[in-house]
Amino acid sequence: MRRLLTLAGLALLPVLVLGVFFVLPVGGMLGQGLWPDGRFDPGSVLEVLGRDRTHRVVWFTVWSAGLATVASVLLGMPAAYALHRLDFPGRRAIRAALLVPFVLPTVVVGVAFRQLFDATGAVPIIAGLAFFNVAVVIRAVGASWESLDARPAEAAAALGASPRQVFVTVTLPALRPAIVSAASVVFLFCATSFGVVLTLGGLRYSSVETEIYYLTTQLLDLPAAAALSIVQLVAITALLAIAARLRAVPDAGLARQVTRPRRPRIEDAPQLAATAVLLLLVAAPVSALVVGSLRVDDAWSLGHYRDLGHTATDALVTSLRTAVDATWMSLLLGGLVSLVVTRRSRTRTERRARGILDALFMLPLGVSAVTLGFGFLITLDQPPLDLRDSPLLVPIAQALVALPLVVRTLAPVLSSIDDRQRQAAASLGAGPLRVLATVDLPVVWKPLLAAAGFAFAVSLGEFGATSFLARDEHPTLPVVIFQLIGRPGADNYGMALAASVVLAATTALVMLAVERLRVPSVGAF
């Protein structure tokens, strides 16, 4: 009983925070859509779904996300093989470089592709989404490729099968669960992308995510935005369930032993060439961003950076301060949740309660940041929860966005610790905190630093919820970048490029430091 009370006490704070800052805002959003006039009226949702613009928005979201997903898989597969099965100079550095796009702020990615294409529209949007998500395919498929048993492929080759036949008949079936799982997650990320589509699409090319923003901030049509959020919530939850089911599919033919990378051979030339091309494609928008920020009146200059002045400095300080607050919040909540869900269950009821708690804290992954920010806007504006002017509102929203990432980083490591070590320490007189310090902490400190880096990077570039909640007098750097893009004039656009470079460099430095920790990829992604 004492043990259960201790675990319940650990879970109390995260449950309260999730209830107030997630369940309440999402519930308020549902109320706006289904109870627009104080009475149950699902017809308002159907009315929004019947609009021609809604049909165009949904169709654009589906086909653009689908094309970006296909592009991500086709570009990521050769790199996954080259970077996880082959050993060549610079392999680790290339892996780190191809990870950076995934954690770049979405508004920065949008600005980079706007500068690269010198235009907005569907093609830059799809290219930006593929750029942003190819790292997911490389990590997910590469991890499975790394653990493939090489003997079936060798046996097929010994029987006369060509390299193409070996890939189609042996390797591809073994990799199919990882490929489909990665593709489903990439499609989810593409369909809920906000900053990329908002920056590159405007009103003509609008996704469900940006349409919610438009309905809320421009038309002030909260019931319509809530109705569209409900549809998005249902669709995302279904996609997450499918992705989880696909990840649970046994990987037939996979050995759980990591295969040592080998030296490249002549037949590996196409995969190496494709990886080199991908590296160039990834470098192109970033290079265009940096070059554009250094060009003033067709001459090289740091003028755009000087023009930013205190605006960028203050916004960067605000972003860093907000990211620090969001990081410690997400680490505190995620650490407590991870401790509770990874302790060994002694009864079926306890096991079920842990499973429910684990699923509960994955819910923020199933709700877009825009929907979450919208929910904050319409629910946390009345006593006793009138938090509109609270400086903690933005960090709390960002912490909820990063929370599933932290749990999926820490929980697998904590669950791998043999519980008998904790029992032995306790039998020698160590209290719960002493057990945690002597048994858990030595194993989890490096993943804990990685989780902090991931949460900090995500919070630093978060734009969806922050665009609703950031105060005008204290905007974050992503908000400043978007405001600069919206103002006419080459100088404002140049300052937006310079601010994007500053934000991208800061985020990249954080993620390169995380990569040096050599922590396995986050399970949620």
Query: pLDDT digits over 466-488, tens only?
Result: 887 887 788 888 988 888 888 88
Is the pLDDT at 136 greater than 90? The verdict is no
Give the pLDDT band of residue 85 (cuts 50, 70, 90).
Answer: confident
Token readout for 2 is 């004492």
The sign one gets for the Cα dihedral 290, 296, 300, 304 is negative
Can you tell me the distance from the alpha carbon of 444 to that of 436, in angstroms, rounded to the nearest whole number?
A: 10
Classified by CATH at the fold level, domain 56-145+175-222+238-253+266-286 comes out as MetI-like fold (1.10.3720)
Q: What's the confidence (pLDDT) of residue 525? A: 44
Most confident of 27-41, 141-155, 385-399: 385-399
Lowest pLDDT segment from 117-131, 258-272, 417-431: 417-431
Lowest pLDDT segment from 158-162, 207-211, 263-267, 393-397: 158-162
Q: What's the confidence (pLDDT) of residue 523? A: 43
Q: What is the pLDDT of residues 412-444, one digit of tens each?
A: 777 777 677 777 777 777 766 777 777 777 777
Nearest to 402 by CA among 441, 362, 375: 362
Per DSSP, 148 falls in state B
Lowest pLDDT segment from 64-73, 151-160, 255-264, 454-463: 255-264
Q: What's the confidence (pLDDT) of residue 395? A: 92
DSSP assignment of 432-480 equals HHHHIIIIIHHHHHHHHHHHHHHHHHHHHH--TTHHHH--TTS--HHHH
Q: Please, what is the average pLDDT of the chain?
A: 81
CB atoms within 10 A of CB 246: 18
Buried b (16+ CB within 10 A) or exposed e, 317-351: ebbbebbebbbebbbebbbbbbbbbbbeeeeeeee
Select the more confidently predicted residue: 161 or 67: 67
Is the pLDDT at 76 greater than 90? The verdict is yes
Q: What's the confidence (pLDDT) of residue 314? A: 87
88 by Cβ neighbours in 10 Å (0-12 / 13-18 / 19+) ranks as middle
Per DSSP, 360 falls in state H
Instruction: Please give the distance of CA 449 from its chain centroid, rounded to a whole number.
Output: 18
Q: What's the confidence (pLDDT) of residue 256? A: 46
Amino acid at 455: A
Q: What is the pLDDT of residues 137-159, one digit of tens each?
A: 998 888 778 777 777 777 877 87
Q: What's the confidence (pLDDT) of residue 4? A: 61
Amino acid at 34: L
**Overall pTM surpassing 0.85 (yes/no):** no
> What's the rounded mean pLDDT across residues 68-79?
94
> What's the rounded mean pLDDT across residues 226-243?
76
Is the pLDDT at 280 greater than 90? The verdict is yes
User: Do the two domains 1-23+294-375+387-525 and 56-145+175-222+238-253+266-286 of this chain adopt the same fold?
Assistant: yes
Q: What's the confidence (pLDDT) of residue 331? A: 92
Amino acid at 19: G
Classified by CATH at the fold level, domain 1-23+294-375+387-525 comes out as MetI-like fold (1.10.3720)
Is the pLDDT at 249 greater than 50? The verdict is no
Q: What's the confidence (pLDDT) of residue 142? A: 84
The sign one gets for the Cα dihedral 336, 377, 366, 322 is negative
* Domain segments of the chain as ranges: 1-23+294-375+387-525, 56-145+175-222+238-253+266-286
Q: What's the confidence (pLDDT) of residue 125? A: 94
Give the pLDDT band of residue 253 (cuts 50, 70, 90).
Answer: very low
Helix (H, G, I), strand (E, B) or coil at 173: helix
Is the pLDDT at 69 greater than 90? The verdict is yes
Most confident of 29-43, 283-297, 350-364, 497-511: 283-297
Give the pLDDT band of residue 1 (cuts 50, 70, 90).
Answer: low
